[in-house]
């Protein structure tokens, strides 16, 4: 297949280097606490916006909810002009990608743009939040967040199903969190919430001595891993460092709050899991695939017990105490249930959750990184009052994730243009003076290519065919698809998920991979084939390809060039046109 066009691609979120540490301890901790490249987001947005076709909106920007009151008040106080509102074409693409993980259909774009309903933006957001594609997108997000993989065995599929059901009914998120923390099961293959615990197990040895051999799982290290996980995912706190040493004289330059914590504080936090017992099923001397009994028949946390993955434990208090307040379980209360109660009732649970979803939808958190709060650093939050307001609204409305997402997406702050009318300064980034762009995730790139070309994938799940990567419980496929997704940063679920980072190899794959090239060929009921079969007018073919791929009409110049490409050979020209549109900067970023 001949591709005459070679558009210049802009990729990148260059890794932001941190200042050279002053001593070895700071150097050792710098990779853990290094802030994400949020300072680069403004410059990246500038570069991507320069590649977008001209688009203007006029008129005053309404303050649509309390989010806008905080954002625009601070902009006014700093004497910073906000970007204008984005166009309808861009808004429908932006919010559809953010809430479903793929681009809208041409019919959806045209219907939205043509509507004269004053509340159409709110209605679109509500419609997407009620869609099955929303459930798929955010179930996949939580699977990445909790690194759901083969360590769960068959429980991975069960956990995925459970998360989808939670999202489908908008189950209160505090209830979801408590279920994960306190889950017990004769088998994690039958109790979905227990699979978070199964995922974090640390294997102690390869073979059991007998049917009651606790050593197949390193019990204490697993307590510690769960303690780190719960604090980071539910409280936005990274306790990793104090799991090995006191914070004093080690963490002052990276996290003031943690610098005041001791390793014994970590022990007492992990002690809530001290009575947990993790028994790996085995038959004929072989462990069974990711299947565990999880109960509360253990002896408690041993502060002098051996460790396989941390420095030796040195002893100290072993009674459970909540890391935030020092509170202990009530008389007769199961320790893990007590932890779930304390953790979800503390204001930091709502603050961390609100900040996590703000970061996902707005490009950077009010606190960055979203999972590494320094509770003693008043400068860490760009908009502390807004964060508290979001947390209070989340808590007051039953910890509804739909409510939280709806509130952010309905705001004018979310709906600002990525283009900026004046000179952009780096300091404006954390003021949210414009919509910050983000590179699509691997799954979003794949599913948007499939949507644009109407050539879905053929994934298999539980004996059924699935069309979209977002519908799967985890990374799947082989050959070209596996290589493509891996190159675009698909999480392997062994490490915490990271924001997508561009690379030259990604640009090469967009130009040469069969994942792209095979889908634009005029065959197998592709969009190109159907358009050529349906319309004899090349102008209509061009219009449809732009709308299907970039969610907007072609500019006059783009249409002229496109028609010239189709004139000598409309089949090859149409194939080349869609390939070129898929390789545009604007296709690979959400702006």
Is 213 part of any domain?
yes
Which domain, by its residues, includes 316?
Answer: 171-345
Q: Can you give the pLDDT of all 591 residues of the chain as single tens digits?
A: 444 333 333 322 222 233 333 344 444 444 444 444 556 898 999 999 999 999 888 889 999 999 999 999 999 999 999 999 999 999 999 999 999 999 999 999 999 999 999 999 999 999 999 999 999 999 999 999 999 999 999 999 999 999 999 999 999 999 999 999 999 999 999 999 999 999 999 999 888 887 677 789 999 999 999 999 999 999 999 999 999 999 999 999 999 999 999 999 999 999 999 999 999 987 766 777 799 999 999 999 999 999 999 999 999 999 999 999 999 999 999 999 999 999 999 999 999 999 999 999 999 999 999 999 999 999 999 999 999 999 999 999 999 999 999 999 999 999 999 999 999 999 999 999 999 999 999 999 999 999 999 999 889 877 778 999 999 999 988 899 999 999 999 999 998 777 788 899 999 999 999 999 999 999 999 999 999 999 999 999 999 999 999 999 999 999 999 999 999 999 999 999 999 999 999 999 999
Which of 227, 154, 155 lies closest to 193 in space, CA to CA?
Answer: 155
User: CA dist 234 to 175, 237, 349, Å?
Assistant: 12, 8, 6
Is 308 part of any domain?
yes
Cβ atoms within 10 A of the Cβ of 145, count? 17
Cβ atoms within 10 A of the Cβ of 63, count? 16
Cβ atoms of 102 and 109 closer than 8 Å: no
Is 221 part of any domain?
yes
Q: 85 — phi, psi (to 5°)?
A: -65, 150
Query: CA 41 to CA 432: how far, in whole Å?
Result: 11
Query: CA 367 to CA 309: how far, in whole Å?
Result: 30
86 Cβ contact partners less than 8 Å away, ≥ 6 residues apart: 55, 57, 94, 415, 416, 417, 418, 435
Q: 336 — phi, psi (to 5°)?
A: -70, -35
Query: What integer pLDDT is reported at residue 135 of this predicted model?
Result: 98
Query: CA 428 to CA 72: how far, in whole Å?
Result: 12
Is 300 part of any domain?
yes
Question: How many domains are there within the chain?
Answer: 1
Is 250 part of any domain?
yes
Is 194 part of any domain?
yes
The sign of the dihedral angle between the CA atoms of 123, 125, 131, 133 is positive
Query: CA 399 to CA 174: how far, in whole Å?
Result: 6
The DSSP annotation for 475-503 comes to: ----HHHHHHHHHTT---SSS--------
Query: What integer pLDDT is reported at residue 499 of this predicted model?
Result: 79
Query: What integer pLDDT is reported at residue 38 of this predicted model?
Result: 56
Query: What integer pLDDT is reported at residue 289 of this predicted model?
Result: 77
Query: CA 282 to CA 285: how far, in whole Å?
Result: 6
Burial call 424-438: b when 16+ CB within 10 Å, e when fewer: beeebbbbbbbbbbb
Query: What integer pLDDT is reported at residue 39 of this predicted model?
Result: 64
Query: What integer pLDDT is reported at residue 211 of this predicted model?
Result: 66
Is 381 part of any domain?
no
Is 10 part of any domain?
no
Query: CA 220 to CA 216: how far, in whole Å?
Result: 12
DSSP state of 294: E
- The strand pairing partners of 85, in sequence order, are 416
Helix (H, G, I), strand (E, B) or coil at 280: strand
């Amino acid at each position: 297949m001949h591709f005459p066009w070679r558009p210049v691609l802009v990729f990148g979120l260059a890794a932001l280097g941190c200042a050279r540490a002053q001593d070895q301890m700071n150097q050792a901790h710098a990779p853990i606490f290094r802030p994400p490249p949020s300072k680069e987001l403004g410059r990246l947005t500038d570069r991507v916006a320069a590649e977008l076709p001209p688009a203007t909106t006029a008129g005053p920007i309404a303050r649509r909810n309390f989010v806008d009151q905080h954002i625009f008040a601070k902009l006014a106080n700093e004497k910073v002009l906000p970007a204008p509102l984005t166009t309808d074409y861009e808004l429908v693409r932006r919010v559809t990608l953010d809430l479903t993980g793929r681009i809208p259909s041409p019919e959806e774009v045209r219907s939205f743009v043509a509507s004269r309903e004053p509340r159409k933006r709110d209605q679109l957001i509500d419609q997407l939040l009620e869609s099955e594609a929303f459930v798929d997108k955010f179930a996949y997000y939580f699977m990445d967040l909790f690194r759901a993989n083969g360590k769960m065995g068959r429980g991975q599929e069960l956990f995925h199903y459970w998360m989808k059901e939670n999202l489908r009914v908008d189950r209160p998120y505090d209830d979801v969190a408590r279920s994960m923390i306190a889950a017990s099961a004769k088998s994690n293959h039958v109790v979905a919430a227990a699979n978070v615990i199964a995922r974090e197990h640390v294997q102690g040895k390869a073979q059991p001595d007998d049917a009651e051999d606790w050593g197949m799982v390193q019990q204490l290290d697993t307590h510690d891993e769960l303690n780190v996980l719960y604090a980071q995912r539910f409280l936005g706190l990274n306790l990793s460092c104090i799991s090995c040493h006191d914070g004093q004289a080690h963490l002052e330059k990276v996290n003031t709050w943690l610098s005041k914590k001791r390793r014994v504080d970590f022990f007492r936090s992990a002690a809530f899991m001290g009575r947990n017992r993790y028994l790996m099923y085995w038959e004929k001397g072989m462990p069974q695939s990711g299947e565990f009994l999880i109960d509360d028949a253990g002896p408690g946390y041993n502060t002098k017990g051996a460790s396989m993955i941390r420095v030796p434990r040195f002893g100290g208090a072993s009674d459970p105490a909540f890391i935030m307040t020092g509170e202990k379980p009530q008389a007769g209360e199961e320790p893990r249930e007590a932890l779930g109660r304390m953790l979800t009732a503390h204001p930091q649970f709502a603050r961390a959750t609100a900040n996590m979803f703000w970061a996902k939808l707005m490009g950077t958190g009010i606190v960055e990184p979203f999972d590494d709060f320094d509770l003693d650093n008043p400068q860490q939050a760009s908009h502390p009052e807004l964060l508290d307001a979001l947390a209070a609204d989340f808590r007051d409305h039953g910890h509804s994730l739909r409510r939280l997402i709806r509130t952010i997406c309905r705001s004018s702050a979310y709906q600002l243009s990525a283009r900026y009318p004046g000179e952009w300064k780096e300091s404006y980034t954390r003021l949210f003076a414009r919509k910050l762009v983000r590179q699509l995730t691997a799954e979003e790139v794949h599913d948007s290519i499939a949507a644009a070309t109407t050539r879905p994938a053929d994934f298999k799940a539980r004996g059924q065919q699935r069309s979209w990567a977002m519908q799967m419980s985890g990374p799947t496929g082989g050959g070209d698809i596996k290589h493509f997704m891996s190159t675009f940063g698909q999480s392997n679920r062994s490490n915490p998920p990271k924001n997508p980072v561009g690379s030259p190899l990604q640009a090469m794959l967009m130009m040469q991979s069969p994942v792209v090239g095979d889908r634009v060929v005029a065959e197998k009921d592709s969009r190109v084939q159907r358009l050529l079969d349906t319309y004899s007018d090349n102008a209509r073919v061009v219009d449809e390809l732009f709308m299907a791929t970039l969610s907007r009409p072609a500019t006059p110049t783009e249409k002229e060039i496109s028609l010239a490409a189709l004139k000598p050979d409309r089949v090859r020209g149409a194939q080349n046109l869609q390939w070129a549109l898929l390789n545009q900067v604007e296709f690979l970023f959400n702006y």
